[in-house]
């Protein structure tokens, strides 16, 4: 069904959360987590079994999301930008347009008559109004769930009472109520901060929802071996920058007996908090009568190691760091209900071209991603290229296909690929990446093909000047 069947282009909501890996979502097979609203969304729409971030760090992933470009083009290949001369992350974007040189999704939607709004976490190095947003309500970059400072349309900062997740959800509901009878279609970029830390700064009901002893432990987690700098990283998980930047006295100690199972239990709790916020969004869509006219995408910017491979947080190329949930509800496309796409690796860079397609517009040539529209419409099981590329800051570049991951390290000088792979996994036989085939001589034909494809992408994908 074409966008014209609506009588006007569809409304669009792109809803992301922060640092949620696909393995902690019920509809992705987790038997313990409670995510009824994510599961409902999947039952009503299309779930991509294998979706990956384009860069497992917040700023480049989110910048790729709106640009449809890989980070090398939209940010110059950098990770999170620090203040000039060091000193941590800047709280707000920089003036001008140092990143995102080409027209972005909101700018292209504005040309088609959309009203654009952004609510919640931003962490992109350009102000929203520069990118075509008519309204925005964004917090500081550093994460806290109470006492968070916001700016509305670039105005004076203010700190709302209560939890920021609840404040943002209420403002989303208000936005939908205000737009319920508008003739102009809208694009809402709604960003939920959890399950990103600080875990300790969350409602008690979610923090205590799961018991540490009930946590599933992935086979690539060794509970008998402490993680490197374990106490330091556990404090970051619990207290975030209040520990690593401010060193507030209350962050000096962890709860007695606090271990990796406790980290996992709190991560699960914050994931259910995200699900609760998503449920409030779904309720608001139903209450305002907007559900049938609105395309809704739910995803995350990247995952979290959570102890797998002896690592924490993100930034690497293992599945726990790169795999994300991706669910698309397109009410006018009834055949997509309950559909699961299994033969295509979807990427964050694909979402801008996809949404333009569903809105009746062609993606411009400067976008690297591909529209997933043919898969959503049930026309194909996979695109001509079933793979995705993942960039990192210091850990090389990888190609992920439905069956393998193959990665080349950064070469010298910069902006080159290394001569030999450092990671090569057969994910069908080894889904937990316990056996690195790089340098083994095994599966040589697959390795040669993946090497060729990755180097071709590298040679044809331009960098930001």
Tell me the per-residue pLDDT of 289-322, one tens digit each, with 9 for 90 and over. 999 999 999 999 999 999 999 999 999 999 999 9
Q: Report how far apart, in Å, the C-alpha atoms of 194 and of each of 27, 29, 361, 403 are.
A: 19, 20, 33, 30
Q: How many CB atoms neighbour CB 366 within 10 A? A: 14
Q: Which residue has the higher pLDDT, 167 or 410?
A: 167
Tell me the per-residue pLDDT of 193-227, one tens digit each, with 9 for 90 and over. 999 999 999 999 999 999 999 999 999 999 999 99
**Mean pLDDT across 239-258:** 96
> Is the CB of residue 215 less than 8 Å from the CB of residue 264?
yes
Tokens representing 33 are 């987590």
The class of domain 396-465 in CATH terms is alpha beta
Tell me the per-residue pLDDT of 358-388, one tens digit each, with 9 for 90 and over. 999 999 999 999 999 999 999 999 999 999 9
How is the chain split into domains, by residue range? Answer: 7-202+267-381, 396-465
Tell me the per-residue pLDDT of 159-170, one tens digit each, with 9 for 90 and over. 999 999 999 999
The second-level CATH assignment, the architecture, of 7-202+267-381 is 3-Layer(aba) Sandwich (3.40)
> Is the CB of residue 457 less than 8 Å from the CB of residue 409?
no
> Is the CB of residue 426 less than 8 Å from the CB of residue 433?
no
| Alpha-helical segments (H) within 153-301 | 164-179, 204-207, 230-239, 241-244, 260-287
| Alpha-helical segments (H) within 76-191 | 105-111, 164-179
What's phi and psi for 149, nearest 5 deg?
-95, 140
Is a pLDDT exceeding 90 seen at residue 150?
yes
Instruction: Report pTM.
Output: 0.96
Distance of CA 137 to the CA centre of its chain: 19
Tell me the per-residue pLDDT of 20-77, one tens digit each, with 9 for 90 and over. 999 999 999 999 999 999 999 999 999 999 999 999 999 999 999 999 999 999 999 8
pLDDT at residue 176, rounded to an integer: 98
Sign for the CA dihedral angle at 351, 356, 360, 362 comes to negative
Task: Provide the pairing of β-strand 294-300 with 388-391.
Answer: unpaired
Residue ranges of E strands in 77-203:
115-120, 135-139, 150-152, 186-195
Is a pLDDT exceeding 80 seen at residue 84?
no
Phi-psi region at 436: left, alpha or beta (left = phi > 0; alpha = psi -120 to 50): beta
pLDDT at residue 87, rounded to an integer: 64
Task: Provide the pairing of β-strand 397-400 with 388-391.
Answer: antiparallel
């Amino acid at each position: 069904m074409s966008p014209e069947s609506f009588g006007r282009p569809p409304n669009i909501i792109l809803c992301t959360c922060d640092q949620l890996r696909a393995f902690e979502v019920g509809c992705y097979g987790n038997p313990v987590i409670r995510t009824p609203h994510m599961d409902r969304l999947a039952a009503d729409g299309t779930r991509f079994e294998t979706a990956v971030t384009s860069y497992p760090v917040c700023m480049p992933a989110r910048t790729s999301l709106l640009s449809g470009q890989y980070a090398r083009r939209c940010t110059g290949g950098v990770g999170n930008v620090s203040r000039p001369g060091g000193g941590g992350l800047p709280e707000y974007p920089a003036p001008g347009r140092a990143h995102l040189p080409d027209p972005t999704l909101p700018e292209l939607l504005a040309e088609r008559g959309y009203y654009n709004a952004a609510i919640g976490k931003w962490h992109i190095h350009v102000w929203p109004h520069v990118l075509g947003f008519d309204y925005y309500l964004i917090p500081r970059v550093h994460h806290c769930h109470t006492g968070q400072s916001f700016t509305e349309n670039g105005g004076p900062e203010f700190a709302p009472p209560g939890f920021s997740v609840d404040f943002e959800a209420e403002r989303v509901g208000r936005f939908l109520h205000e737009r319920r009878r508008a003739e102009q279609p809208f694009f809402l970029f709604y960003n939920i901060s959890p399950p990103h830390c600080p875990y300790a700064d969350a409602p008690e009901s979610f923090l205590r929802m799961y018991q540490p002893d009930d946590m599933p432990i992935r086979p690539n987690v060794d509970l008998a071996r402490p993680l490197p700098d374990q106490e330091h990283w556990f404090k970051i998980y619990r207290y975030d920058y209040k520990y690593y930047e401010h060193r507030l006295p209350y962050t000096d100690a962890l709860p007695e007996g606090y271990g990796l199972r406790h980290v996992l239990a709190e991560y699960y709790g914050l994931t259910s908090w995200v699900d609760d916020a998503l449920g409030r969004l779904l309720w608001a869509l139903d209450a305002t009568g907007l559900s049938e006219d609105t395309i809704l995408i739910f995803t995350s910017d990247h995952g979290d190691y959570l102890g797998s491979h002896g690592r924490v947080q993100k930034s690497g190329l293992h599945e726990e760091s790169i795999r994300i949930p991706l669910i698309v509800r397109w009410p006018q496309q009834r055949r997509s209900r309950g559909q699961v796409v299994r033969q295509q690796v979807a990427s964050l860079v694909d979402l801008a071209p996809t949404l333009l397609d569903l809105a009746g517009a062609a993606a411009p040539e400067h976008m690297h991603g591909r529209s997933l529209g043919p898969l959503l419409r049930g026309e194909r099981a996979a695109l001509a290229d079933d793979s995705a590329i993942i960039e990192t800051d210091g850990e090389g570049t990888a190609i992920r296909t439905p069956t393998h991951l193959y990665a080349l390290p950064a070469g010298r000088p910069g902006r080159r690929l290394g001569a030999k792979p450092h990671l090569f996994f057969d994910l069908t036989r080894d889904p937990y990446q316990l056996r690195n085939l790089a340098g083994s001589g095994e599966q040589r034909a697959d390795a040669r093909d993946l090497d060729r494809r990755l180097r071709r992408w590298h040679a044809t994908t331009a960098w930001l000047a």
